[in-house]
Structure 1
Amino acid sequence: MTHTYEELLEKNRKYLWNPFTQMKTYLADEPLIIASGQGVKVTDARGKEYYDANASVWLNPHGHNRQELNDAIIEQLGQIAHSTLLGSANIPALLLAERLVQITPERLQKVFYSDSGAASVEIGLKMAYQYWNNKGRPEKCTLLTMKNAYHGDTVGAVSVGGIDGFHKTFEKLLFHTEKVSYPYPYRFNGTAEECVQACLTELEQKLIEKADQIAGMIIEPMVQGAGGMIMMPAGFLKQVEALCRKYDVLMLVDEVATGFGRTGKMFACEHDGVQPDIMMVGKKLTGGYLPVAVTLTSDEVYDAFYGEHRERKTFYHGHSYTGNQLGCAVALASLDIYEKDQTVAHVQRMSEAIKPLLQEIETLDHVGEVRQLGLMIGIELVADKASRRMYDWMEARGASVCRRAVDLGLLTRPLDDVVTFMPPLVSTQEELTDMLRILRQAIQEVTEP
């Protein structure tokens, strides 16, 4: 049965509440309703094609309708769609756990499944908390995080976040955390080196004062994504790790956005050679097909929960679809594609190939800065280039640029006045060039009328 666009739009008005969306504004336009996808493009219910330049919210690495991934799900369907991991196991979950341990930092040896990035963060936080309780140090119960951080939308994940626009409304629901500054030289009154040193000094002072109360520090490695595509100076993450070790604090890295090749390494913490105690991954894990996420831990963390029933060390957390066979099967097929297509090397080549195009965009009158690591890119719009004065948030220039890009055949989303560019990792140089041509035109038309 087929439906017209108008029929579908009416169903959207009557029944659906879209996430991260002001519905009054959304429904006042002619919103997109996606019908199909192929490669790096999607097609709407009226037959118009668009580049998927935010990879369906940063999670599609190999393009849409990839035959190997389709086949993996179909093959698994012939066996079983789902059975619980509570008190039993299944074959795809075991095989995927082994594969993930093989490709993640060496310190990480155990895999705990969930169904979203935010859930994987919640699990990591609870593990860090209970770890110290199980070790006889219940006073170490506070989480340390960074200002401007984003780790998901559940209450625990929001508690360790720091973006007022997303989180302030829920302030009274949240548990207490300690926060330190993220090194952002652009907004620091001094050199980049001075900025890094100031942030490290602030972090160490916090640890000197409160390490005996801090269970773990959670951090987005190399890039603060939803905070505006803020790039971390090289070497900073390694020094954070050293301070965590010095003051006996667990290090948790949130690789939900950065993992699986997005930054030009399989995992962003590899840029600084960091070995976290706990790592959270999701999004691209299943090739953008099914909701599976993972929290990986060291054996040291796992062993703190290992004991007799009477010791009450069990980690009481789980999700109904934890370790779902269909999701794990397609994740294994996705990892096969990473190997076969040498996806990470392709990202490295493409990120270098598009640098001249990004530099051209940076010369536009109302672009203050283009920030890039691999194919994780943010284009910051400014009202005045000389002073780098930001637009008034009420103008919603980023949203206006993205709406114009849709008219021109490209989908992406803004982070306030930072336009994100997060294309599928499989994108060719020709496709990336065309996408950036559209994005440049949209920026010019909106900011230079």
Structure 2
Amino acid sequence: MSSNTLRDADLTYTLHPYTNLVAHESKGPLIAVRGEGVRIYDDAGKDYIEGMAGLWCASLGFSEPRLAEAAARQMAELPFFHMFTHKSHAPGIQLSEALVTRAPVPMARAFFCNSGSEANDTAIKMIWYMNNALGRPEKKKLIARKRGYHGVTVAAASLTGLPANHRDFDLPIANILHTSDPHYYRQGKPGESEEEFSKRCADELEALILEEGPETVAAFFAEPVMGAGGVIVPPKGYFDHIQAVLKKYDVLLVADEVICGFGRTGTYWGSQQFGMKPDILTCAKALSSAYLPISAVLVSEPVYAAIRENSAKIGTFGHGYTYSAHPVAAAVALETLAIYDERNILDQVALSGARLQERLRALASHPLVGDARGVGLIGALELVADKETKANFDPALGVGAKVADQAQENGVITRAMAGDILAFSPPLIITPTEVDEMMNKVTAALDTVAADL
């Protein structure tokens, strides 16, 4: 199919996620045709450094032959089987062991899904199932954070704290609440230290739990670093203060590691970076370097014990997906984990992450940049109209989108999020030299838009 034919077919037949569908009719798609390392190539042959690793996910880049070979081997040997009703297969069993033994805190079991949304939805169902099993039918409310992102299924999208994910979808559903986000740059008061701000966030969480009634609040969902909400890195002491509140009122902590897991923040799990001790952990994306869809939910022994006993009482644990632990996806995930180990991926993140953070911080002095932040190989630039007052640009100007479009024209794919925030999450295999190339092109894009403004 020619490029023009592909473009016409896209505009005629495809409904795109997270897209202004009217604007798409005139803008049209960037059509990727192949990948190599940290780059993708479009249908005109132009190459781009993928500064977002796709959707925060292609951790090993776009041309890792071992993952393709692992998929081919498993496809030839056992292309499909399932884990329902006492059935199993080697890749699923081995991946369960690999994840449970790698968990940041002791975990009892791994359950498999196909996406981060499904993993968080599954965690919600497990929490409700567990509390019914424990004779606590009123303990069902879930608290997430404003600006948090936990997926797009009905329940997971309700946890997500972004207006566009709720508006006109009739969300959030009942029993899902939101507390303040830890965005110190925006929410910190004059003269308030990071530690003081963190304590205030925890106090607000405690006030919400008390207002709702501790006997009704079941769990708190949190990303170690908030991704789609603007790459919000928790300030000093944040999770220490938050976890003290959760422990006080017997509220489970669910760590959403969908973006942060497998090295993104500089530790194997984001939870380790910030001292989180989750009762449930969800992961996806870099689990298979996004080469095939797979996600997992890891549960602690107390959670598993309640689920186990209730399944015996009812006769089954009535939850699962046709493709839970799909053997080909599981085989690719196992190979991905093996590559992380063999190539010491954390050393690569330490090297290239330091360079990314250095280049981001250097842009804090740029006329358009109010805040530059990040950790490991994840970061963001928050663009402002007035650096001193932190005043935002008029949303109608679309300044963040203009910078992202100009960066793409320059050969770098980044992502503009609400509030004129530019996100960066390149493949973990990116080199310091490639980081410099990426940031040079982004700097040029900032300069071009600043001159236009």
TM-score calculated relative to the size of structure 1 = 0.96
What is the match of residue 352 of structure 2? 350
User: Bigger CA drift: 104-113 or 161-170?
Assistant: 161-170
* Contact 2:279/2:303 (<8 A) preserved: yes
What is the match of residue 160 of structure 1? 159
Matches within 5 A, 1:206-285: 206-209=208-211, 210-221=213-224, 223-285=225-287
Out of 33, 56, 59, the residue aligned to residue 58 of structure 1 is: 56
What is the match of residue 77 of structure 1? 75
What is the match of residue 26 of structure 2? 28
CA–CA separation in structure 2 for the residues paired with 1:7 and 1:235: 54
CA–CA separation in structure 2 for the residues paired with 1:325 and 1:153: 25
What is the match of residue 413 of structure 2? 411
CA–CA separation in structure 2 for the residues paired with 1:84 and 1:356: 46
What is the match of residue 99 of structure 1? 98
- 1:236-283 CA-to-partner distances (Å, cap 9, x unmatched) read 113322322221111111111111111111111101332211111001
CA–CA separation in structure 1 for the residues paired with 2:63 and 2:154: 34
- Could you tell me how far 1:227 is from its partner in structure 2? 0.9
Residues 311 and 41 (structure 1), Cα distance of their counterparts in 2 relative to 1, 3 Å cut: same
Unaligned runs of 5+ in 2: none
- 1:335-360 CA-to-partner distances (Å, cap 9, x unmatched) read 11111111112112222223332222
Matches within 5 A, 1:14-413: 14-87=12-85, 88-172=87-171, 174-187=173-186, 188-190=188-190, 191=192, 192-209=194-211, 210-221=213-224, 223-307=225-309, 311-312=313-314, 314-413=316-415
* Contact 1:280/1:293 (<8 A) preserved: yes
* Contact 2:185/2:371 (<8 A) preserved: no
CA–CA separation in structure 2 for the residues paired with 1:202 and 1:228: 21
- 1:157-186 CA-to-partner distances (Å, cap 9, x unmatched) read 111121113323223562232322122222
Residues 391 and 329 (structure 1), Cα distance of their counterparts in 2 relative to 1, 3 Å cut: same
* Contact 2:357/2:375 (<8 A) preserved: no
- 1:78-102 CA-to-partner distances (Å, cap 9, x unmatched) read 2111111112111100001100011
* Contact 1:304/1:313 (<8 A) preserved: no
* Contact 1:305/1:313 (<8 A) preserved: no
User: Bigger CA drift: 110-119 or 312-321?
Assistant: 312-321
CA–CA separation in structure 1 for the residues paired with 2:290 and 2:237: 31
CA–CA separation in structure 1 for the residues paired with 2:89 and 2:105: 24
* Contact 1:307/1:313 (<8 A) preserved: no
* Contact 1:159/1:176 (<8 A) preserved: no
Amino acid at match of 1:65: S
Q: Does 1:438 align with 2:437?
A: no
- Could you tell me how far 1:18 is from its partner in structure 2? 1.1
Amino acid at match of 2:426: P
- 1:305-352 CA-to-partner distances (Å, cap 9, x unmatched) read 223766227432111111001100010110111111111121122222
CA–CA separation in structure 2 for the residues paired with 1:346 and 1:310: 46
Amino acid at match of 2:34: S
1:387 alignment partner, SS class: coil
Say what the alpha-carbon RMSD is for the aligned residues.
Answer: 1.5
- 1:125-158 CA-to-partner distances (Å, cap 9, x unmatched) read 1111111110011110111111221111111011
- Could you tell me how far 1:400 is from its partner in structure 2? 1.1
- Could you tell me how far 1:30 is from its partner in structure 2? 4.6
- Could you tell me how far 1:15 is from its partner in structure 2? 0.8
CA–CA separation in structure 2 for the residues paired with 1:267 and 1:173: 29
CA–CA separation in structure 2 for the residues paired with 1:246 and 1:286: 37
* Contact 1:61/1:287 (<8 A) preserved: yes
CA–CA separation in structure 1 for the residues paired with 2:120 and 2:310: 27
Amino acid at match of 1:377: G
- 1:368-418 CA-to-partner distances (Å, cap 9, x unmatched) read 011111111111111122221111112111111111111111112111210
Amino acid at match of 1:58: W
CA–CA separation in structure 2 for the residues paired with 1:51 and 1:380: 21
* Contact 1:251/1:277 (<8 A) preserved: yes
- Could you tell me how far 1:235 is from its partner in structure 2? 2.7
* Contact 2:195/2:237 (<8 A) preserved: no
